[in-house]
Structure 1
Amino acid sequence: MADNELPMNLREDNVSEETKKLISSLPKDKDCRGKLCKYQGCWYYYNTLQAVISFQNNFQPQDTDIILASSPKSGTTWLKALTVALLERSKHDPMNHPLLSDNPHGIVPFLENNLYLKSSTPDLTKYSSSSSSRRVFATHMPLHTLKEGLKGSPCKIVFMCRNAKDALISLWYFRCKYQKLEMTRGILESMFESLCSGVSFYGPIWDHVLSYWRGSLEDPSHVLFMKYEEMKEEPCVHLKRLAEFLGCPFTEEEEESRAVNKILQLCSLRSLSDLEINRTGKTSNGVDYKFYFRKGEVGDSKNHLTPEMESKIDMIIEEKLKGSGLSL
């Protein structure tokens, strides 16, 4: 495949001479998709690294900003939808809600995989919530790298993590679909080995998750740590927890009118995936919105990974998280 046919984040055509010099000094490796370099403890494709550096150098945070962080394929679409629904609730006619006419990824852009991937100085004005004037962005960067671009801002950061095995399977499906690849065991096994070695896009996953876990313990008023599995098990409890953290708690009147349940219904996988925009639309990077919706189930990895593969991931994650107080 020619370089200009690759997804933009996999290419190397947007890298400045300064960043090329930096890359020459960094640890380098590769996965099944392309060349990687390790910056501030995290592995990136070269164009994505350029975007990360552009973000760190040029982003001008506002105190009211909200940053939605996650590892890839860890409930990001759901978190974006829920946050939009919380901020926009009771501001729109039910038939005219933003989520009915745009995908969560269209409303909440990624900083490094969208905005700064395309420009070192993107126009961010249109990303304010129309009713709350709070800007909402997303990222897969680890917390220490993200904070370098936030420049001490007291903005809110929400992190969603997910079981590494389920995230791996979700990523396998997603990558094969949007890159139009046959879903082979060979690709899955290559991604499995990358995960286990830690040499994967935004990996090692354990360091990524731990950065936000420790951040949430050190500064719980500004960093909220959420687990996808807990959200699935008790969605009402954790949606209200998210609303409290963002400073927009549900009123007694809203709870009596079942506003919590209405938001959960609006943001459910079934509801969102049935919408015309999500069946036929594409991201600004050309990825079909429908690829962001699959099963969303907890434990689906057992249908794809061998017991040996599951055991190996479990052992590595348990070892890497030992002593942190976190279990996944």
Structure 2
Amino acid sequence: MEATTISENINLSKSHGVESRDIEEELQELVQRLPKERFGFGRDENSAVYFYQGFWCPFPLFKATISFQKHFETLDNDIFLTTPLKCGTTWMKALIFTIVNRHKFQPENNPLLTSLTPHQAMPYVEVQFYLKNQEPNLSHIPQPRLLHTHLPYSSLPPSIRECPTAKIVYICRNPMDMFISTWHFIENIRPANEEPFPLDEAFEKFCRGVHAYGPYSDHILGFWKAKQENSNKILFLKYEDVKADTFSHVKTLANFLGFPFSEEEEKKGVVEEIIKLCSFENLKELEVNKSGYQAFGLPNSAFFRKGEVGDSTNYLTPAMVERLEKSVLGKFDKSGLTFKISSKTNCE
């Protein structure tokens, strides 16, 4: 790629003098020497991922990622949701926002019902703050700040990893369902004039770890190991477990965040109210989530497909499941981490 093209794409602000020029030069050097592949529709830079710090970073977010890493300062009471793609992120954002803010408004007046999407309630830091501003002013965000990122643990800004009191909620999902959900998401947002992203091609790259914020197994293991070292800082959740027993996991989540439910609240059914309000079925049917667009140009409706466990059995052959078990799940051996995987598929 020509350096002039890189410069035009990253479009860094010149207001920071030498430091800004240094970062621009750093980015130009990086994208010229890092491994590059395509994941998704299209053939331009927007579909490119670069292997950076051990993970595949989407090119459109490269500048924002580096700015986030360099400049973000964590507050003691920050709450972060950290996730791979398509692992219950939208659902978990709604739950965290509602748990933390439940004393500010009655359930029927929760802004998630009328004017606020989960992605506005818990902003994606790189996209909503650092994409257009190298050093955004985040002082206007109400505390505790509820923030989200897809970055692997080792690539989080140092201030997040080093702050002893900031909380990290991590949720992941069995790789079969995560892969199929990601593929559907890419196809759902594909412009009509773009060629489809073939399932076989996407599968081949996913098994090699080539996808946004992949390899998937490395992403999971990074947070799993960090949680073993500091369980007070990281709450590690699996989508399947939360779906199977939402009540107990919502209580665990509230306790971890420092907003536990009182006995009176439990007697009044507040936990059940929150679960119902934030359920996939309810969120999907709200007008605020059926219309409009996110700050990064994607339709709100694209974030709601099925929310089911085991949907991958309708798309993956037994041979594909076997390969994923070896290429992804095999890396969890001796870690103590397991996933509930259905061996039955409806696809031959």
Normalised by the length of structure 1, the TM-score is 0.90
C-alpha distance in 2 between matches for 1:41 and 1:143: 11
Picking from 150, 164, 167, the partner of 1:140 is: 150
Q: CA deviation at 1:213?
A: 0.3
1:21 aligns with 2:29: yes
C-alpha distance in 1 between matches for 2:206 and 2:128: 24
Point out where structure 2 has 5 or more consecutive residues left out of the alignment.
Answer: 1-7, 13-23, 42-46, 340-348
Cα 1:317–1:268 change in 2 (3 A) is same
Q: 1:5 — aligned with what?
A: none
Picking from 188, 211, 226, the partner of 1:200 is: 211
1:121 aligns with 2:131: no
Q: CA deviation at 1:184?
A: 8.8
Q: 1:150 — aligned with what?
A: 160
C-alpha distance in 2 between matches for 1:42 and 1:137: 21
C-alpha distance in 2 between matches for 1:222 and 1:52: 22
Segments of 4+ moved more than 6 angstroms: 182-185
Point out where structure 1 has 5 or more consecutive residues left out of the alignment.
Answer: 1-10
Q: 1:286 — aligned with what?
A: 297
1:33-73 per-residue CA deviation (whole Å, 9 max, x = no partner) reads 43222111111122322211100111121010001011000
Q: Judge conservation of contact 1:30–1:36 (CA < 8 Å) in 2.
A: yes
Picking from 171, 180, 192, the partner of 2:182 is: 171
Q: 1:31 — aligned with what?
A: 39
C-alpha distance in 2 between matches for 1:37 and 1:98: 38
C-alpha distance in 2 between matches for 1:195 and 1:151: 27
SS of residue paired to 2:187: helix
Normalised by the length of structure 2, the TM-score is 0.85
Picking from 213, 216, 223, the partner of 2:234 is: 223
SS of residue paired to 1:125: coil
Select between 264-273 and 183-192 the one with higher mean Cα deviation.
183-192
Letter in structure 2 aligned against 1:140: H
Larger radius of gyration: 2
* Percent pairwise identity: 40
Root-mean-square deviation (CA, aligned residues, Å) is 2.0
Cα 1:36–1:149 change in 2 (3 A) is farther
Q: CA deviation at 1:181?
A: 5.1
Q: Judge conservation of contact 1:235–1:264 (CA < 8 Å) in 2.
A: yes
SS of residue paired to 1:192: helix
Q: Judge conservation of contact 2:51–2:57 (CA < 8 Å) in 1.
A: yes
Q: Judge conservation of contact 1:56–1:150 (CA < 8 Å) in 2.
A: no
